[in-house]
Chain A
Amino acid sequence: DTEVTQTPKHLVMGMTNKKSLKCEQHMGHRAMYWYKQKAKKPPELMFVYSYEKLSINESVPSRFSPECPNSSLLNLHLHALQPEDSALYLCASSQSTQWTGGGGGEKLFFGSGTQLSVL
């Protein structure tokens, strides 16, 4: 099973709403990521969790709040978003947090994403 599952697939929210994106993997991966992708641009890293601890926050505004309840789950809580936050939000996971000599542990596996529209 090499699947990362994200829900919902689509989300429309107003600027005063609170919503959450969910991500799940059962591959035993110890690193999980949130990326944001705008049209015709590459994914931009937002957060990295390593062994359930936040290890990287790429200066993301506080209206985005990540949470890692356990090693399989990753959430992204959204509050008071702006229209410019509309994008594809991708969750990803990788087996380990450091290079494993080419053994494949460093590969990123992506979920299918949540297409978010903020009105």
Chain B
Amino acid sequence: RKEVEQDPGPFNVPEGATVAFNCTYSNSASQSFFWYRQDCRKEPKLLMSVYSSGNEDGRFTAQLNRASQYISLLIRDSKLSDSATYLCVVNRGTGNQFYFGTGTSLTVIP
């Protein structure tokens, strides 16, 4: 079983829509969770860390469910500029191993 699994999509949504991505992880000892955004031919950039209490940054909300071992990202009021690949990243906390999901492709359509 893969360490981190994501639905690769693609997700094609109209502007203004709400879209949610989920990610599951296999190791219950995992400690740190992140969402990264990657534009075509660019480096991944940290979008949000994900905390157990849930966290929000503007139109973006991240949730962590430790019992079910999944992480979610909700994007409200989608903008054209949100089009990118969203990578779920998990760190066990016992070393330098960051595990990447396959990424979910989002295209926001005018």
Give me the interface of A with B, judged by CB distance under 8 Å.
Answer: 31, 33, 40-43, 45, 48, 50, 55-56, 88, 90, 94, 97-99, 102, 104, 106-113, 115
Give me the interface of B with A, judged by CB distance under 8 Å.
Answer: 31-32, 34, 36, 41-46, 49, 51, 87, 89, 91-98, 100-103
- A residues in contact with B96, CB < 8 Å: 31, 33, 48, 50, 55-56, 94, 97
What is the CA–CA distance of A67 and B41 in the complex, to the nearest angstrom? 25
Q: How far is the CB of B93 from chain A (nearest CB, A)?
A: 3
B31 touches A99 (CB 8 A): yes
Chain A residue with Cβ nearest B46 = A107
8 Å CB contact of A106 from B32, B43, B101: B32
Q: How far is the CB of B55 from chain A (nearest CB, A)?
A: 11
A104 touching B43 in the complex, CB below 8 Å, given contacts A55-B96, A56-B97, A97-B96? no
- Chain B binding surface SS class: loop
Q: How far is the CB of B31 from chain A (nearest CB, A)?
A: 5
8 Å CB contact of B100 from A43, A107, A113: A43
A97 touches B89 (CB 8 A): no
A98 touches B93 (CB 8 A): yes
Chain A residue with Cβ nearest B100 = A42
Q: How far is the CB of B28 from chain A (nearest CB, A)?
A: 15
- Most chain B beta-carbon contacts within 10 A, residue among A50, A56, A94, A107: A107
Q: How far is the CB of B51 from chain A (nearest CB, A)?
A: 7
B51 touches A110 (CB 8 A): no
- A residues in contact with B44, CB < 8 Å: 43, 90, 108, 110
- B residues in contact with A90, CB < 8 Å: 43-44
A99 touching B32 in the complex, CB below 8 Å, given contacts A33-B96, A42-B100, A56-B97? yes
Q: How far is the CB of A9 from chain B (nearest CB, A)?
A: 10
8 Å CB contact of B46 from A33, A56, A108, A112: A108
Chain A residue with Cβ nearest B93 = A99
Chain B residue with Cβ nearest A107 = B46
8 Å CB contact of A98 from B42, B87, B95, B100: B95
A106 touches B91 (CB 8 A): yes
